[in-house]
Structure 1
Amino acid sequence: MKKSKHLIITLFVCLLCVTAAHAQFGGFGKKLLDKGSDMVSGGGLSKILKQPQAISTSFKDVDKTGSKPPSFMEGKTPEPLYLLPKTPEGAYKLCAGYYEMTNKSYCLHAGTRGPSTGDGYMLAPVIGPKRDVVILILKHAEKHAEVDQHSIQVLLWAIIARTRFVDMSNSIKLTATKLLSTDELLMLEGGALGVLPASVMDKAKSQLPPAAQSVFEAENNIRQLAASSNASYEDMEKYAVLAGLAPQPDPEVPSGIWSLHPDGYYIRFIPHGYQRTTVQIYVPQELISTKPGLIYDGPNGIACPANVGAQRLAQTNEPLNPDYTKKLKVVCN
């Protein structure tokens, strides 16, 4: 019975991919616009504006209790985090000590600017209707080296823009099918929007605060690009990541600030653009004594900026340019 269910879902996904491969964007785009128009008829615009973002994490979700200043571990030298042993699910098993890793990271907030000098980032939970599928994509990506970072980012942009799987281009569907099981693909449906016509966009933006207008418009543009077989990563990036500097950083949340993780260790994020983030972790010896089995699992947290105009960054367990010839100086039991 279970095999039959999987076969039906697989055939369904294949049918969607074939349909997308033969669709011309002109006709397909018109269907999306018609869908968007239908959604706002009869007072539907208010419902759309109240619909939560696919990933809704904001700085309001950050717990600043126990945070430490940037100078907290000044003068100490971190060891490579990626040399720690890992769990079968890909998380790092933590030992007492100070660790660092520069890993792949991803933009999860379309219509905002990239990290700026001086922006303070703190740990926040992943919240929103698409939380589980986004975390799965980030976890599975480590096992699929054949899928490049740009392809994964485009899929994530399509998801956070609330694009239905059936409306995605064939190339984005292909990325999704490589990273997700047939059952997991079904998580991409629901909570999605069509492409809204310009007249509807103008009306919608007039009902939104200024900070939300660019995000709402960027998501609409991304939905349209996600349906196109000709749209490139660069086309989508220009809507997802705005040029220029974000508004002034929050002086109370300086760059390099440390967050106290709910599990008791300290963590901080130093972004290098939105595609790379240096993560530093300090694990006190007394914590290990009371909490054996402590782990760090990047995709379960977001590097969230205090600057509302900057990108929130999804984290991964994938190190960039690791040097596995190095040896840990600490002894992990």
Structure 2
Amino acid sequence: MKHKKLLLPTPIHLLSLKNFKKHLIICLGICLFCSTTVQAQFGGFGKAILGKGADMVSGGSLNKLLKQPQAITTSFNDVNKTGSKPPSFMEGQVAEPLYLLPKAPGGGFKLCAGFYEMTSKSYCLHAGTRGPSTGDGYMLAPVLGPKRDVVILILKHAETHPEVDQHSIQILLWSIIARTRFVDMGSDIKLTATRLLSANELLMLEGGALGVLPASVMDKAKSQFPPAVQSVFEAENNIRRLAASGNSSYEEMEKYAMLAGLAPAPDPAVPSGIWSLHPDGYYIRFYPHSYSKTTVQIYVPKELLSTKPGLVYDGPNGIACPANVGSQRLAQTNEPLNPDYNQKLKTICNQ
């Protein structure tokens, strides 16, 4: 019977100087990796988080902190008002269920000529602001900012993960909007992220993130912001702290994400129910019921499809943006709430 030759490590005294150096470097690398991993997982967690924030003001880097863009930068200045229609447009017409239209392979719904609506899940993308209020006008805006791609991916992947509830996704989005580092997020938030994102997509969460900023840094930073921006900056820091704590509830995080009290008066130039002209040529408007629930209406002119066949409405690619700067930006989805699939489309749709 043949015995396999057992390979033993070469004794150090038999190694050449060159090989000895090579082995030493490898051993030191392994030790350093293990030490770093253990420290990151078990040691000095709170100190590390606050230390990252304290570093932001050392060496004059407070200015760098103040210049960092928000995770999602979309504002009403990004809204294209060209071609908009008043709320009376399509008055008296009855909308059909948008969710009954054929599904597009890449997500969303294939559009046919006609008037459609869907009440669907929506998400807050602006911490430290107020929820929708009566009279607020919302218009279509693009998703912009450093975290644009990962936010859209989360919303699109959520369609195929019904086991991940809306509250868990909102907590993840608030953590991202607040620029929380993935390594700092609590285990529940990380679990939500890993369910919705691939390993490569998870890497998109890291860039541009911050640690929890101590009070001294917050005071210095806030003094350089106007009041409206101060509330957002403070809300984001509180959300980072809660996200890192690992035991915060949805209600606690919502308390910082949503401001209490009366919202500023609506902008009369942008009334509730105003229609936006989508870049693809159809019309769209939003009626938010709350930050987590929005009715979207779409009108597709018949003549449009003759020049632009194959149109698709894909909710996560747009934001319902308020003219009122103190209100929430609302991410849209393709997920209808309480759909009735027993209904039938009256419109003939050959998509």
Q: TM-score, normalised by structure 1?
A: 0.92
AA of the residue aligned to 2:264: P
* C-alpha displacement of 1:286: 0.5
Give 1:302's aligned residue: 319
Give 1:158's aligned residue: 175
Aligned counterparts of 2:60 and 2:141: Cα–Cα separation in 1 = 35
Asked if 1:112 is matched to 2:129, the reply is yes
Asked if 1:191 is matched to 2:208, the reply is yes
Residue in structure 2 matching 1:82, options 94, 99, 102: 99
Unaligned 5+ segments in structure 2 are 1-32
Give 1:133's aligned residue: 150
> Residue 315 of structure 1: SS of its match in structure 2?
strand
> Residue 89 of structure 2: SS of its match in structure 1?
helix
Aligned counterparts of 1:214 and 1:169: Cα–Cα separation in 2 = 24
> Could you tell me whether the CA contact under 8 Å between 1:29 and 1:224 is conserved in 2?
no
* C-alpha displacement of 1:19: 8.6
Give 1:266's aligned residue: 283
Asked if 1:228 is matched to 2:245, the reply is yes
AA of the residue aligned to 1:290: T
Residues 147-205 of structure 1 show CA distances to partners (whole Å, capped at 9, x for unaligned) of 00000000000001001111101100000000001111111111011111111111111
Residue in structure 2 matching 1:216, options 209, 224, 233: 233
Asked if 1:58 is matched to 2:44, the reply is no
* C-alpha displacement of 1:23: 5.1
Give 1:29's aligned residue: 46
Identity of aligned residues (%): 82
* C-alpha displacement of 1:209: 1.3
Aligned counterparts of 2:47 and 2:86: Cα–Cα separation in 1 = 52
> Could you tell me whether the CA contact under 8 Å between 1:28 and 1:227 is conserved in 2?
no
Residue in structure 2 matching 1:246, options 241, 257, 263: 263
> Residue 288 of structure 2: SS of its match in structure 1?
strand
Aligned counterparts of 1:138 and 1:182: Cα–Cα separation in 2 = 17
> Could you tell me whether the CA contact under 8 Å between 1:114 and 1:273 is conserved in 2?
yes
* C-alpha displacement of 1:32: 1.1
* C-alpha displacement of 1:145: 0.5
* C-alpha displacement of 1:49: 0.8
Aligned counterparts of 1:104 and 1:43: Cα–Cα separation in 2 = 43
Give 1:73's aligned residue: 90
> Could you tell me whether the CA contact under 8 Å between 1:121 and 1:256 is conserved in 2?
yes
Aligned counterparts of 1:225 and 1:30: Cα–Cα separation in 2 = 15
Give 1:287's aligned residue: 304
> Residue 317 of structure 1: SS of its match in structure 2?
strand
* C-alpha displacement of 1:30: 2.5
Give 1:9's aligned residue: none
Residues 35-88 of structure 1 show CA distances to partners (whole Å, capped at 9, x for unaligned) of 100122111111111100000000000000000011101100000000000112
Aligned counterparts of 2:244 and 2:221: Cα–Cα separation in 1 = 22
AA of the residue aligned to 1:123: L
> Residue 105 of structure 2: SS of its match in structure 1?
coil
Unaligned 5+ segments in structure 1 are 1-11
Name the stretch that deviates more: 295-304 or 241-250: 241-250
| Larger-gyration structure (1/2) | 2
> Residue 85 of structure 1: SS of its match in structure 2?
coil
AA of the residue aligned to 1:175: T
Aligned counterparts of 1:197 and 1:235: Cα–Cα separation in 2 = 19
- Distance change in 2, residues 1:173/1:19 (3 Å): farther
Structure 1 residue runs of 4+, over 4 Å off? Answer: none
Give 2:12's aligned residue: none
Aligned counterparts of 1:19 and 1:275: Cα–Cα separation in 2 = 39
* C-alpha displacement of 1:325: 0.1
Aligned counterparts of 2:170 and 2:206: Cα–Cα separation in 1 = 18
AA of the residue aligned to 2:347: V
> Could you tell me whether the CA contact under 8 Å between 1:102 and 1:276 is conserved in 2?
yes
- CA RMSD in angstroms comes to 1.6
- Distance change in 2, residues 1:194/1:252 (3 Å): same
* C-alpha displacement of 1:329: 0.3
> Residue 128 of structure 1: SS of its match in structure 2?
coil
Aligned counterparts of 2:72 and 2:53: Cα–Cα separation in 1 = 21
